[in-house]
A and B are shown apart, each in its own frame.
Chain A
């Protein structure tokens, strides 16, 4: 009897597994066609030399292309360093500003919908060509024009000199660019803030907590998942951004130089960096969720 039951259970389990596979079947096909094959090919190309272009037949040369990038290329390493620097500066700043704006809008103010509508606008422009045109059309002058509307009073200018103005401008430009890159993050944070139960704040107030303490002890812990999601989202956005110099040089090499082996190698170095960062973030995410579950 017991054996029969076991067999029956096993049958059901196998049937459920089979059903699950049926659901993700399209994705499995897609993975082979649009993921595994191209990824395998780029790895082979980056480790070799293309002999025939029809079918991308390659000849194995080992790490030759990678060596060339690090020893001969003068543009890649500086670009790469810029990207790493930008990633480590911009991503935290985007998160902080998005959270800041979300908290302000979440306060009891009139015209919430209006501000929400405005904050999503840069997203509709996309991070692609339009954004580059609008923001970058006056870049040639050396300073981007996003913050040109903010006028520095003349006396201040006369007193502090041009250098000071330039620094202020650069600072404002950086902040404006960061703000323009954070619409989705703002919306995500706004949604999360609204779902925090008021009773938490109520009880904290009864126990005499200040607003500052409430932020660190209630708001932030309740937003952990959203912060991690936004981190990943921001990273992905910055990786595929058009103003990203590495992606720019990769694209340039694809389209104009047609130096596929070299570009693939560049792509893989970049991808390694991306994967490393994302893996770290996901590890943190998993760890936090684990400790959360243990607490309850």
Chain B
């Protein structure tokens, strides 16, 4: 089987590496016969425009990072906008201890990984089935897939909740979030089916037929041939599913209620209310409900602004996604480009 794998992968690899030595760019065609000055002026304008636009995109992140290292003084000072007078890391300490970062991270991690795997496997099988086989009622069933994409979870959450808690007896469990992903549902599950189906419809059948003639079973063909060939769509699915599950706070909020099973995104909205309460308690001199040490508590009263702590908490909770995305970015973008979203 490994032999077959390399035989299949080799030509694809070669095609990917192939680059003609002299290649005209689209720009060369469009700008053919124009003067150099107007060309340069246009370019400078383009760069300025791009930098301006990227400011809008990068603004939230910069705002978050900068605010998270401000202390009370800098935070209140209007003149301090981008560069704080001193870097104040206590915000992070407080945020980490109040978020219960370890449990939160662990829970988010489990849900994200399992759900992503579930979406990958289920959507690839189902999308393949929809693309390759003709059976009665196919277009109607695919219509249901599309309908399941556009229907907001919020509309059907109560019956779902009752179904899981009363019929299946899954109270305060992660399974209601994870299980639907293995059946092509869950958080926007239909979208991945849609993507895989569009990809497989345009894919030639020869590879699978060759595998079949060589005596390769259906499931083995799927994992050894179809998934590697569709690796670009797989990448898109993995990244989208990962980011959305990590950032989702609606389903965890519905299904999980003990602090032990809280995800990071679930804990964030609570944090703000908690912070204000703690500050009130501290001002009143009540130190019984504080999770961090006394010297930080002293500091909390004088120097810490609640918004800054909140931003620090937001930062640490999206940091894992940023890091993982940093590793996957190149392949993800390539995936969207090469797989394309084809109609």
Contact = CB atoms under 8 A, between A and B. Distances in A.
Interface of A: 16-17, 19-24, 26-31, 33-35, 37-39, 41-42, 45, 54-56, 101, 104-109, 115-131, 133-135, 137, 146-147, 149, 176, 179-180, 183-184, 187-188, 190-192, 194-196, 198, 201-202, 205, 211, 214, 224-226, 228-229, 232-233, 235-236, 239-240, 247, 250-251, 254, 260, 263-264, 267-268, 270-271, 274-275, 278, 282, 285, 289
Given A121-B61, A128-B247, A104 B49 contact: yes
A113 to B, nearest CB: 8
Contacts of B136: 17
B336 interface: yes
Nearest to A227: B343
Given A21-B135, A124-B318, A149-B55, A278 B146 contact: yes
Contacts of A274: 150-152
A211 B28 CA distance: 12
B255 interface: no
Interface of B: 24-30, 32, 43, 46-47, 49-50, 53-61, 63-64, 122, 125-126, 128-130, 132-136, 138, 141, 144-160, 162-163, 166, 180, 182-185, 188-189, 191, 193, 218, 240, 243-244, 246-250, 265, 268-269, 307, 310-311, 314, 317-318, 321-322, 325, 329, 333, 336-338, 340-343
B317 to A, nearest CB: 8
B25 A198 contact: yes
Contacts of B340: 191-192, 195, 226
Given A30-B185, A134-B64, A236-B188, A118 B57 contact: yes
Contacts of A126: 243-244, 246-248, 318
Contact of A24 (B50, B126, B244): B126
Contact of B56 (A45, A131, A180, A190): A180
Given A124-B243, A129-B269, A267 B146 contact: no
Given A109-B43, A146-B59, A236-B149, A188 B341 contact: yes
